[in-house]
Amino acid sequence: MADYFCFSLWHDDSERTGEFGDIDPRTLAITAALAADLMAWSDWYDRGLDMNDPAASCWAEGEKDTFVQQGQRMLERLRDELGSSFVVTGRF
């Protein structure tokens, strides 16, 4: 899930411990390539923010679809690399 100035990965253990927050992908047991791609995806989202007028932030023509498609591909890669011991969901 992309959010401004956060990592694109999140943990939600709110039902058990009350904890919720973003996760640095470089701290997970995934390939360096996937971690770098996740970091780049987060940076791409951040670059779309107009700090002077956040309400005016918008995507270039077709960019949102490309962003979501890339996120979905990385979601599948993340599921494959983490395996069945993690529940991996996506929100785009």
Q: What is the pLDDT of residues 49-77, one digit of tens each?
A: 988 998 888 888 889 999 999 999 999 99
Q: Is residue 3 part of a domain?
A: no
92 within domain boundaries: no
pLDDT at 68: 94
Averaged over 20-45, what is the pLDDT?
96
pLDDT of 28 > 90? The answer is yes
Cα four-point dihedral sign 71, 47, 42, 35: positive
Residue 47 domain-assigned (yes or no): yes
Of 16-25, 29-38, 74-83, the one with minimum mean pLDDT is 16-25
pLDDT score at 64: 92
Q: Please check whether residue 49 lies inside any domain of the structure.
A: yes
Res 38 pLDDT > 90: yes
Instruction: Find the domain containing 77 and state its range.
Output: 9-85
